[in-house]
Amino acid sequence: MPLPTPFFPRTSALCHSMKWKEWAGYYAVCSYETLHDTEYYAFRNSAGLLDVSPLYKYRVTGPDAAAFLSRIMVRNIEKLAIGRVSYCCWCDDHGKVVDDGTVMRRGEQEFFVTSADPCYSWFSRFLRGYKVELSDISDQVAGLALQGPTSRDILKQVCDADLDGLKYFATCKARVNGFEVYISRTGYTGDLGYELWVDHEHALKLWDAIMAAGKNYDIRPAGLDALDVTRVEAGLILKDVDYFNALHALIDDRKSSPYEISLGWTVDLDRAPFNGQAALQAEKEEGSKWAIVGLDIDWPQLEELYYKRGLPPVLSNHAWRSSIPIYTAKDKRIQAGYATSGTWSPILKKNIALATVQKKYDKIGTELQFEVTVEHVRHTVSAIVSKTQFYNPERKTFTPKSSKS
Amino acid sequence: MSKKYDAIIIGGGHNGLICAAYLAKAGRKVLVLEKRHVLGGAAVSEEVYPGFTFSVASYVVSLFRPHIIRELELAKHGYEVIPMDCSFLPLPDGDSLARWADPHRSRREIARFSKKDSEVYPEFSRVMTHMGKLAKAVIDHPAPNINSIHPKEIANLLRLGKAFKDLGPDLLNLNIKLVTMSALDFLDLWFESDVLKAPMSVSGIIGTFQGIRSPGTAYVLLHHYMGQLDGVFRSWGFSKGGTGGVSMACARSAMSYGAEIRTEAPVKQVLIKNGEATGVVLENGDELYAKTVISNLDPNRTYLKMVGESHLEPDVLKDIKRFKLRGSSGKVNLALDSVPEFSCRPGDGDHIRGDIAIAPGIDYLERAYDQAKYGEFSTRPYINAVIPTLTDPSLAPPGKHIMSCFVQYAPYHIKQGAENWPKYREAFGDTVVDTLAEYIPGLKDKILFRQVLTPWDLEQTMGLTEGNIFQGELSLEQLLFQRPVAKYSGYKTSISKLWMCGSGTHPGGGIMGASGELCAKTMLTSRAI
Ligand SMILES: Cc1cc2nc3c(=O)[nH]c(=O)nc-3n(C[C@H](O)[C@H](O)[C@H](O)COP(=O)(O)OP(=O)(O)OC[C@H]3O[C@@H](n4cnc5c(N)ncnc54)[C@H](O)[C@@H]3O)c2cc1C
């Protein structure tokens, strides 16, 4: 039986569609209205407010906190500056990804970590020898994502933080009407946006303050359906959809290295030992087997298939997450890989997908064949390998008061 | 004398009935002879108290082989098992642990005792899922005959070897641990909390005269996991109408294929002529003849009572006498006026709809075993209780309930001598009720009727020698090609034309149906019938 998050009194009052799902043991709204379109456009045009409390959250403190996290993460956390956030993944001994999340450095000896799976037991396996304290604060800290072009303006009305100076992937402490929140300029929409972390007791006050301030900026509560569309547009991968936690994978073939899931850029090999280092070093030298790529699925061809059946081309406005076979352009009997999630992008007007393909097919511009079913009959249409990041607006990283120092 | 039957099956336990169904379906003329007035053996439902139908002995179903349901059309004949959602552990200090099918709900519950354990728990289930793949290789085929060089036997052995090899080195290593370690040591590899380990470890001792720290009990743990391919709790379930419902579905299936079934027809002996079984003689003196005879009884009863020592080679006799039965458990069935309420979690919520374990710690379980070692029943025993009426209200009048309690340890050989068990029966029943009342304060006032079955009673009524619930311990040396004895394991016996189909043969005990099925299939493919 899922639990309500601290925002439930507000979210449940607003969720007219009655569409909920379970997320990490909590109730989460799929969409507040029957169709999620307005929520999607809020993320892209104004601001959407999303309850992300079900994420797992950990606090790591102590003199060895940075060294300890560096031992676990594929990135070198010792190099992370105070007030900065690092997007990371962490691996088992064989260099296979266990989970991904963010690490925020709040102080010399204080870090805040988010993850998709419970990781307390995994992290604590490596505690020995480090002067650190690891605490699971998942049930004490609530999270809100305020995402979209007007999010900065809204947040300015609510708190005292220097938001014009807060850079992409930076974090700071702020005060809202007498209580404290942590703000990080992060999110899962690939747009300008913030995530706010607040103690349970102040959660509703924070929600109310943001919603009130957002009135003039077209704020809307947004659910996971809209988020799912934006995250595919942004090329952000999702655990249990685009890859699997190595500790839970039933067979080895379901495990992936960071290189294979487009997170190779996060791997910092040349440093003190960390989990999976040797295996990742070897993989870097020998090459990986798989790669996650973006697929731009040919629209005219798809349209044609629909027209042939006398139908207009209608795609669901929901992002999908089922495995779809991808074939080589030359020979439709040879499978090059499989798509794991995709969506019709309302803003790009493109049919896009994230796919895992054999390494030899991962070059940008490579033509592949994507399986589609039109009126119960299977066909393939051409799909071009592209960057996973389909949508990347300038505002995402733009900082008005870009401090030169 | 004309041989009217192709086979006479002694015993109408679920395995005997399944064996009969398969043979009848293949066109053979079959007669089942059951001693009691009801069918089912240890999988039996009886209205022991007016209006209340007890699953007298076995009480939950999990290992039953799904292909048998399909092949014998058991769903059509009334087979229905409703899955249980929860495993509940009340604790004496007012706390409790409920493990649910919902993984997040379980995680939150376990985290109250150990955060680490709560997250390792799904990893453990994942590994056990892999182990469960072995079930296909181990349970669904006759055990390979390692003394034979027949290509079929070699293929059989290779298949078993391959299934182990396919586990991969990490899991294979674990498997070797499973086979050699104690249940507790095995769980120690994963978990730290007693509160979690205690109720998990008991799967390793059910029906075994061993403690959770005894080497080899990890295997019994696996045995209980094998049927549970789709998750830890999902596939334990209540049979509609009690576990006798399974047996009755098997009986109806057998009859639909033309098998003949007689109750209140106790067999006195197997008729043997020139080393060959020719039929049976009933207690009432009637003689019945058949081309083959199949015994659903345990190995001890089959060889020593039905056949008789005079027909046995010394080696076989020695092995059979050494076959470990050592009953270690009893059963207490309660008819209740209303729902029992646990003080630690009051109400009739979902937590008491599954199985309820009285196993509040490792030491508690070890202490329970200590007493049994010296010939006493445990004064604070491990109890596995279920309230099937919450799921299947047809078993009792509206609002009334049944609490079915499996109790360990109750050794067959008490120091006063097994035959004196009847004198201690009620004291044993009191112990069980007193133990439960520590968690359910109002229990005693709710009891309308109580049925107490000691191992001695299980032997007397159901013909389970020494009251062993599995027709022989599930210790490794008594499994696979060594069940019941190394020389005669493939459902054959040392007497020509006499076969065995009970849980005393491979793959062993539990409401599983595999022994009955595999015996029939072995006889048919080897043209023994
Ligand atoms: C108390 C108890 C609890 C259990 N709990 C569970 C459980 O919850 N889940 C589970 O899966 N398993 C459980 N088991 C084990 C399971 O019930 C048995 O392993 C299984 O039912 C055995 O079936 P069988 O057909 O092989 O043999 P049996 O059921 O033993 O059948 C043998 C039959 O032969 C008959 N018979 C004996 N002598 C003669 C004779 N001389 N002439 C004619 N007939 C004769 C008997 O009456 C009986 O019907 C439990 C067993 C017991 C005793």
Q: How far is B192 from chain A (nearest CA, A)?
A: 12
pLDDT, average across residues B81-105: 92
Q: Which residues pair with B30 in a beta bridge?
A: B7
Buried b (16+ CB within 10 A) or exposed e, A188-205: bbbbbbbbbbbeeebbbe
Token pair, residue A176, equals 């809202």
Is residue A248 included in any domain, yes or no?
no
Predicted confidence band of residue B84 (pLDDT cuts 50, 70, 90): confident
Residue A177's CATH number: 3.30.1360.120
- Identify whether the C-beta of residue B21 lies closer than 8 Å to the C-beta of residue B252: no
Number of domains in chain A: 3
In a domain, A354, yes or no: yes
Domain co-membership, A27 together with A165: yes
Q: How many CB pairs under 8 A join A and B?
A: 34
Please list, in sequence order, all residues whose beta carbon lies within 8 angstroms of the beta carbon of residue A329, skipping any fewer than 6 positions away: A366, A367, A368, A369, A382
A211 and A339 belong to one structural domain: no
Q: Which of A286, A302, A336 is at the close of a domain?
A: A286
The pLDDT value recorded for residue B230 is 41
Confidence of residue B459 (pLDDT cuts 50, 70, 90): very high
Does A196 lie in the same domain as A82? no
Q: Domain of A72: which CATH number? A: 3.30.70.1400
Query: Considering only CA atoms, which of B512, B129, B201, B207 is closest in space to residue B363?
Result: B201
> What is the widest separation between alpha-carbon atoms in chain A?
69
Q: What is the mean pLDDT of residues B257-261?
A: 98
Three-state DSSP state, A237: coil
**CA B434/CA B407 separation, integer angstroms:** 13
In Å, how far from its chain's centre is CA B236? 13
d(CA A364, CA A386): 5
Cα–Cα distance for residue pair A209/A213, rounded to 1 Å: 6
A61 and A132 belong to one structural domain: yes
* A341 is a domain residue: yes
Q: Are residues A272 and A370 in the same domain?
A: no
Q: Which residues of B94-118 are buried (b: 16+ CB within 10 A; e: fewer)?
A: eebbbbbbebbbbbbbbbebbbbbb
Whether B489 is in the pocket of ligand 1, judged by its Cβ within 6 Å, is: no
A248 interfaces chain B, CB cutoff of 8 Å: yes
pLDDT of residue B231: 39
| Most B CBs within 10 Å, among A53, A115, A121, to test the B interface | A121
pLDDT score of B136: 67
Identify the pLDDT of residue B232.
41
Q: Is the same domain home to A148 and A25?
A: yes
B119 touches A: beta carbon within 8 Å: yes
Which residue, A189, A164, A192, A196, is CA-closest to A390? A189
A250 vs A254: CA distance, rounded Å = 7
What's chain A's average pLDDT?
96
Measured between beta carbons, the chain A residues lying within 8 angstroms of B116 are: 120-121, 124
Question: Which residue positions in chain A have pLDDT lower than 70?
Answer: 403-405
Residues A316 and A381 occupy one common structural domain:
yes
**pLDDT tens figures, B306-362:** 999 999 999 999 999 999 999 999 999 999 999 999 999 999 999 999 999 999 999
A120 has a chain B CB within 8 A of its CB:
yes
- Tell me the residue type at B321: K
Picking from B107, B117, B122, the nearest residue to A25 by CB comes out as B107
Strand partners, B404: B333, B386
Q: Is A124 on the interface with B (CB under 8 A)?
A: yes
Question: What's the mean pLDDT in B446-450?
Answer: 98
DSSP letters for A286-335? H--SEEEEEEEE-HHHHHHHHHHTT------SS-B-S-EEEEESS-TTSE
Q: Does any CB of chain A come closer than 8 Å to the CB of residue B122?
A: yes
Asked whether B30 and B9 are in contact (CB, 8 A), the reply is yes
Q: Given pLDDT bands bounded at 50, 70 and 90, which one contains residue B161?
A: confident
Q: In 10 A of CB B304, how many CB atoms?
A: 16
Q: What is the ipTM of this complex?
A: 0.79
Give the model's pLDDT for residue A79: 97
Do residue A250 and residue B129 have CB atoms under 8 angstroms apart? yes
- Kind and range of the H or E element at A278? helix A277-286
Query: How far apart are the CA of B168 and the nearest CA of chain A, in angstroms?
Result: 10
Is the bond into B409 cis (omega within 30 degrees of 0)?
A: yes
How many whole angstroms separate alpha carbon B469 and alpha carbon B508?
11
- Which residue type is seen at A25? G
In a domain, A377, yes or no: yes
Considering the domain architecture, whether residues A152 and A47 belong to the same structural domain is answered as yes
CA dist B95 and B109 (Å) reads 11
Q: Bridge partners of A370?
A: A326, A381
Cα(A260)–Cα(A221) distance, rounded to whole angstroms? 35
Write the single-letter amino acid at B119: E
Q: Do A82 and A201 have their domain in common?
A: no
- Domain shared by A171 and A62, yes or no: no
Specify if A229 maps to a domain.
no
pLDDT in tens, B199-252: 999 988 998 899 999 988 888 887 777 655 443 444 689 999 999 999 999 999
Nearest CA in chain B to A120: B116
By DSSP bridging, strand A367-374 and strand A377-386 are antiparallel
Under 8 Å CB-to-CB from B16, ≥6 apart: which residues?
Answer: B9, B10, B32, B34, B41, B294, B296, B501, B502, B516
Work out the burial of residue A216: count CB atoms within 10 Å of its CB; fewer than 13 is exposed, 13-18 middle, 19 or more buried. Answer: exposed
Ligand 1 contacts CB of residue B218 (under 6 A): no
For tokens 């391959």, name the residue: B162
pLDDT at B85: 84
Residue A25 lies in a domain: yes
Instruction: State residue A285's pLDDT score.
Output: 97
Tokens encoding A370: 């994507």
HSE-CB of A37 using CA atoms within 13 angstroms: 6
CB–CB of B481/B473 below 8 Å?
no
Whether residue A382 is found in the same domain as residue A294: yes
Burial class (CB in 10 A: 0-12, 13-18, 19+), B231: middle
Domains and CATH numbers, chain B: 4-43+67-80+240-323+472-525 (3.50.50.60), 107-227 (no CATH)
Q: Cβ separation of B115 and A247 shorter than 8 Å?
A: no
Among residues A212, A155, A214, the alpha carbon closest in space to that of A187 is found at A155
Residue A265 lies in domain: 57-137+257-286
Least Cα distance to A23 among A284, A213, A236, A239 occurs for: A239
Within-domain flag for A316: yes
CB B519 near ligand 1, within 6 Å: no
Measured over the CA atoms of residue A329, residue A332, residue A335 and residue A339, the dihedral's sign is positive
Query: Is residue B43 in contact with ligand 1, taking CB distance under 6 Å?
Result: yes
- How distant is the alpha carbon of residue A109 from its chain centre? 26
Q: Are residues A154 and A211 in the same domain?
A: yes
A392 in a structural domain: no
